[in-house]
Amino acid sequence: MSTNYEAFHQALKSAKHIATLCGAGLSAESGIPTFRGEGGWWRNYKATELATLSAFKRNPSRIWEFYNYRRGLVLQKTANKAHKALVDFENKILSQKPQTQTFTVITQNVDGISSNLKNYIEMHGNLFRTRCMQCGDIEENRDFPICEGLKGTENSKFDIDLPIEKLPACTKCKGLLRPDVVWFNELLDPKITSKIQVELDRCDLLLVIGTSGFVYPAAGYSEYVRSRGGKIAIFNIENTGNADFKFIGPCGETLPQALQV
């Protein structure tokens, strides 16, 4: 396992298909809390208990208060040096004449901060899209608060139990909207998982950036790439997991240096 940038730069130059698997740590330096540790709690619920269909069905108001709070938080945040490094590196690859390498960013994050990338796969959906529980209509929506009834609830310590008719409603059929994200125990969009499979099947260098590797199927990706002979580089503040390259520290510092951007 190497922690030296020179060796990594060699591997980066000789790789044909470079991909990333990003997690909440990519956005941590933008001030967006991660799921582990203090960031994983909201009021006194664990995020993993709130990000489920059953929690939404049981108490749609509480879950919309949670997502409205996260939307409001993300809307005030900006991209950090790690997000910028991914964009700059993608531009570098795309301006190769002829293009001899591919670069694809696969992210678990739903904050949409990297959406200015060209080859970008959001595995778990996006906070700023809604989906109708009735007719399935999907809309972009960056309103904050997302509905009148949720105004000013983002800092309240207690649930406000809005009645369903006051929660976000579909403009087409008036049905109850949900955030267009993948909740725990929900299947990922098969169109997305097949795009990811194409990338994993050809990836010879996977950058695993700011993820604790708990959540499946993302958590299985580096094993899969390694089993096919691909190399793994971990960018994390914790020294976890095994990899060919490890850069321990804030990815806002390590990634620009590793990608030479």
Binding-site member from 51, 82, 86, 132 for Zn ion (CB under 5 A): 132
What single string gives the DSSP state of each residue in 139-174? Answer: EE---SSSSGGGTT-TT-SS-----GGGS-B-TTT-
Helix (H, G, I), strand (E, B) or coil at 209: strand
Per the annotation, the verdict on 17 as an active-site residue is: no
Q: Does 216 bind ligand BV8 (CB under 6 A)?
A: yes
Q: Determine which residue in the list 173, 197, 216, 220 makes contact with Zn ion, applying CB under 5 A.
A: 173
**Contact with ligand BV8 (CB under 6 A) among 237, 256, 257, 261:** 237
Is residue 124 near ligand BV8 by the rule CB under 6 A?
yes
Residue type, 171: T
Choose from ligand BV8, Zn ion, none: what does 132 bind? Cβ within 5-8 Å by kind: Zn ion
Size of the site for ligand BV8 (CB under 6 A): 34
Q: Where are the alpha helices (DSSP H) in 1-58?
A: 5-14, 25-28, 47-50, 53-58
The reply to whether 187 sits near ligand BV8 by the rule CB under 6 A is yes
Q: CA 31 to CA 8: how far, in whole Å?
A: 28
Q: Does 56 bind ligand BV8 (CB under 6 A)?
A: no
- What does the alpha-carbon distance between residue 137 and residue 127 come to, in Å, rounded to a whole number? 15
DSSP annotation of 2 reads B
User: Can residue 170 be called a binding residue for Zn ion (CB under 5 A)?
Assistant: yes
H or E stretch covering 178: strand 177-181
Applying CB under 5 A, which residues contact Zn ion? 132, 134-135, 137, 170, 172-173, 175
Applying CB under 6 A, which residues contact ligand BV8? 23-25, 28-29, 34-36, 48, 51, 108, 110, 124, 181-187, 210-212, 214-218, 235-238, 250-251
